Amino acid sequence: MSFSQEFELLLRARYPLIYIPTLEEERVENAIAQSAKRLGNRCVYVWDFVDGYQGNPNDEGLARRNPLQALEFLDKVADNGAGIFILRDFHRFLEDVSVARKLKNLSRLLKSQPKNIVIITPQVAIPPELTDVLTVLAFPLPDVSEIKVEVERLIAALGQSLNDKVLDELVRSCQGLSIERIRRVLARAIAAHGEIQPEDVEMVLEEKRQSIRQTQILEFYPTTEKISDIGGLDNLKDWLLRRGGAFTERARQYGLPHPRGLLLVGIQGTGKSLTAKAIAHHWHLPLLRLDVGRLFAGLVGESESRTRQMIQLAEALAPCILWIDEIDKAFSGFDAKGDGGTTSRVFGTFISWLAEKKSPVFVVATANNIQALPPEMLRKGRFDEIFFVGLPSQEERLAIFELHLARLRSHNLKNYDLERLAYETPDFSGAEIEQTLIEAMHIGFSQNRDFTTDDILEAASQIVPLARTAKEQIQFLQDWAAAGKARMASRDNRLSSRIQRQFMGNGE
């Protein structure tokens, strides 16, 4: 159901107090005005703290700097006079006892009158005493059709034309931005060279990155890592390769649903986060990183609002990859947290979205401690697959050494005994192998020479791997995966030649 349909349903059902959290004040007011026309030309009254009521000459400036008087104005309108009363930024006055009391009185009175109060605010901030009388209605960011209409309007005003491919790319790059931001960035492009050019897509993407940064919830993460940069994890790579084209229109015509996501469980430093970055690069999709801790805020209702905002933004940017690192730390033991149920409500909203989402948002969540994850997270339907990422085998360690040394010393890779390095580093993770090489480079650099195999082995002897310091936890994870609770990300053998050829064919 669209916003207009849901809003008009609430009006017909005589919901007296409607609360719309959005930063797009102008756009939501235009949508409300259109709904008012469709419902028999209802009068629309607009109030803000500085200018009072606007639009009607008889009431111009009424209740300026007086929020209680703004509510009392409804008493002066005839009982049968249908009207929508828009109150801008009214969330700032809800803590006032007289304003809260008046709203509660009006909520009973307006049930029998064709009048509705609509509070437009940039965020959800509802005091507990009003939660039962205010109905929160989400206002989504503009969809593809709205963005296309706006872009075509600007292009027509310039007397310019763009071919369909450039237009579609420009519209797609604008997804996730408000109409005001789209107008602003395109006006900047026009000011720069007098017209909209294909190269302006990069300017739009930078505006998108700025918009995402301002939310302080999601981070637009650049990706340069390739799937071929991951040593081992052959089963996982094979699984990802088969779904490389699953977001295309051809896949839709075939009848394939959008892939839902992956949960990567395993030992720290084994390449889970690297995999998330490599997926985005290989599938040519934007990568959004979610820090779950940023969802939680101090004000009542704000954490839930941030969660809805995160979902709305991710869906507006779809198709995309949503990367949630160390999700186990965010929701561990949420039932016992003394935060008034905030964590439980945030988790409920998030887990429901995972199960019900239809948008092409591919969620990649990583976790180190499976015991900390709520059982609901592991239920089938939340993710397409749960993979266990364990410590690399000797063959995989050889591949990891080869990848790093090919990057660091490609001109004399043959001077390093890869077989010996892999054999002498049992229980080392990929991150620990990388740290070993850095330490070996320090040894060589301090002696004004290149580092050698012996330097690497000396560095390895000084590192105590996590497999030994956290032996019990790792053993639990391995036993859990061996019991069939997750799919193994690795195979014992090296990457098959068929998959290697696929990497080569995809420029990976």
Same domain, 231 and 244: yes
Dump strand ranges (E) for 107-165: 115-121, 135-136
Q: What is the DSSP letter of 335?
A: G
Is 184 a domain residue? yes
Both 233 and 325 in a single domain? yes
**118 and 22 share a domain?**
yes
Helix or strand or coil: residue 426?
coil
Q: Where a domain ends, among 79, 109, 136?
A: 136
Query: Quick check: 287 and 323 in contact, CB under 8 A?
Result: yes
d(CA 354, CA 315): 12
pLDDT at 297: 63
Q: Phi then psi for 496, rounded to 5 degrees?
A: -65, 155
Residues 156 and 87 both lie in one domain: no
In a domain, 209, yes or no: yes
* CATH code, domain with 190: 1.10.8
Residue with tokens 């909209």: 196
Asked if 451 and 318 sit in the same domain, the reply is no
Count of structural domains within the chain: 4
Q: Are residues 368 and 277 in the same domain?
A: yes
Task: Say yes or no: 162 and 245 in one domain.
Answer: no
Report how far Cα 356 is from the mean position of its chain's Cα atoms.
Answer: 16
End residue of a domain, out of 389, 413, 439: 389
- State whether 334 and 399 are in the same domain: no
Within-domain flag for 44: yes
282 and 235 housed in the same domain: yes
Question: Residue 62: CB partners within 8 Å, gap ≥ 6?
Answer: 52, 53, 69, 73
Asked if 439 contacts 463 with a C-beta cutoff of 8 angstroms, the reply is yes
376 and 282, same domain (yes or no): yes
Q: From CA 347, how far away is CA 334, in angstroms rounded?
A: 8
Helix (H) or strand (E) holding 111: none
- CATH code: domain of residue 405: 1.10.8.60
On whether both 292 and 305 belong to a single domain, the answer is yes
With CA atoms as reference, report the closest residue to 277 among 241, 236, 227. 227
Question: What is residue 24's three-state secondary structure?
Answer: coil
Report the alpha-carbon distance of residue 286 to residue 362 in Å, rounded. 11
| E strand residue ranges, 137-243 | 218-221
Phi–psi pair at 401, nearest 5 degrees: -60, -40
Residue 125 in any domain: the answer is yes
Task: Identify whether 222 is part of a domain.
Answer: no
Distances in whole angstroms, Cα of residue 505 to Cα of each of 13, 207, 247? 58, 33, 19
Distance set, CA 456 to CA 269, 271, 433, 435, 466 (Å): 19, 21, 9, 10, 18
Statement to judge: residues 203 and 233 lie in one domain: no
437 located within any domain: yes
Residue 401 within a domain: yes
Domain contains 105: yes
Mind listing the pLDDT tens digit of every residue in the chain (508 residues)?
899 999 999 999 999 999 999 989 999 999 999 999 999 989 999 999 999 999 788 889 999 999 999 999 999 888 888 899 999 999 999 999 999 999 999 999 999 999 999 999 998 889 999 999 999 999 998 988 899 999 999 999 989 988 888 888 888 888 888 999 999 999 999 999 889 988 888 888 888 888 888 777 888 888 788 888 888 888 999 999 898 888 877 888 899 988 999 999 988 888 898 999 999 888 888 899 998 878 876 555 678 878 888 888 888 888 889 999 888 887 775 555 555 677 888 888 888 999 888 888 999 999 988 888 888 888 878 899 999 998 899 999 999 999 999 999 988 899 999 999 999 999 899 999 999 999 999 999 999 999 999 999 999 999 989 888 888 888 888 888 888 888 999 875 333 333 333 433 444 4
How far apart are alpha carbons 129 and 95 in whole angstroms? 9
pLDDT at site 309: 83
Whether the CA torsion 159, 165, 166, 171 is positive or negative: it is: positive
Question: What's the domain range around 294?
Answer: 227-389
Q: How many CA atoms lie within 13 A of 198 on its CB side?
A: 7
The DSSP call for residue 93 is G
Domain C-terminal end among 91, 115, 136? 136
H-run or E-run covering 429: none
Instruction: Sort strands 218-221 and 261-266 into parallel, antiparallel or unpaired.
Output: unpaired
